[in-house]
């Protein structure tokens, strides 16, 4: 069994000039606001309050870099899809995120958190598309699976898998029930340690 990570906050960046050195390997985690991204990061790292779970969706505007070993990082990308965020700020995020995917050489994998009850939305597909364009493999965490019955969760997983495409695994996930954590950690470790599939 894989254990939690020795993870610590490295830096928060609002623009590309603030990104840490592009060396080693990193895995980015993206997701709609309130999709359970922070809870997933905390469950995966085994650090209860590493990523701030927020009562105010859309508040975190920075790209947060966490160190999980020598030149190994987990990157918490800003949540998207929050209606009350002004248009110019949304555009700014889009520019910074797109640039991150286009230029970041150490990026080895993308995890997208998607609420199992919502399915893959337009902005999730944009993230997956940017990763694919950069040749970066991706997986989807189908979060909050505990809010669905087993059969409904499996149906949600199947429709997400169809939307995400054959090379993107969809892992049923629940932070409080600790479902899917092992599978997600295995994927994360493989990307961080260089066992590219
Ligand atoms: P973020 O905005 O994507 O970072 O989402 P958060 O991690 O802050 O979670 C948003 C809300 O969903 C919080 O109230 C969490 O407690 C809740 N949540 C997150 N993951 C799960 C899950 O797997 N199951 C359940 N039932 N609730 C969850």
Q: What single string gives the DSSP state of each residue in 61-108? A: -SEEEEEEETTEEEEEPPPB--TTS-HHHHHHHHHHHHHHHHH-TTEE
- Ligand 1 mutation pick, 33, 35, 53, 83, max ligand atoms within 8 A of CB: 53
Domain limits of the chain?
A: 8-193
Please write the tens of the pLDDT for every residue from 39-72: 999 999 988 778 776 545 545 678 999 999 999 9
Please write the tens of the pLDDT for every residue from 76-108: 998 888 777 778 778 888 888 999 999 999 999
In the CATH scheme, what is the code of domain 8-193? 3.40.50.300
Rounded distance, CA 138 to CA 164, Å? 9
Which tokens hold the place of 157? Answer: 């997983």
Span from the CA of 122 to the centroid of ligand 1 (angstroms): 20
| pTM of full prediction above 0.75 | yes
Please write the tens of the pLDDT for every residue from 115-143: 999 999 999 999 999 999 999 999 999 99
Q: Which residue is closest in CA terms to ligand 1's atom 19?
A: 36
8, containing H or E segment: strand 8-13
């Amino acid at each position: 069994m894989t254990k939690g990570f020795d993870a610590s906050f490295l830096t928060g960046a609002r623009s590309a000039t603030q990104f840490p050195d592009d060396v080693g390997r990193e895995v980015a985690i993206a997701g709609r606001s309130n999709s359970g991204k922070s809870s997933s990061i905390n469950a995966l790292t085994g650090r209860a309050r590493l990523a701030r779970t927020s009562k105010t969706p859309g508040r975190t505007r920075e790209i947060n870099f966490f160190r999980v070993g020598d030149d190994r990082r987990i990157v918490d990308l800003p949540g998207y899809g929050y209606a009350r965020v002004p248009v110019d700020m949304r555009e700014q995020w889009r520019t910074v995120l797109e640039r991150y995917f286009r230029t970041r050489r150490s990026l080895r994998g993308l995890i997208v958190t998607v609420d199992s009850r919502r399915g893959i939305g337009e902005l999730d597909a944009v993230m997956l598309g940017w990763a694919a364009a950069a040749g970066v493999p991706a997986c989807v965490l189908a979060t909050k699976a505990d809010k669905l019955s087993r059969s409904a969760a499996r149906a949600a997983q199947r429709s997400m898998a169809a939307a995400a495409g054959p090379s993107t695994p969809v892992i049923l996930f629940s932070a409080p029930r600790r479902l899917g954590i092992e599978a997600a950690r295995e994927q994360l470790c493989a990307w961080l340690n260089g066992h590219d599939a």
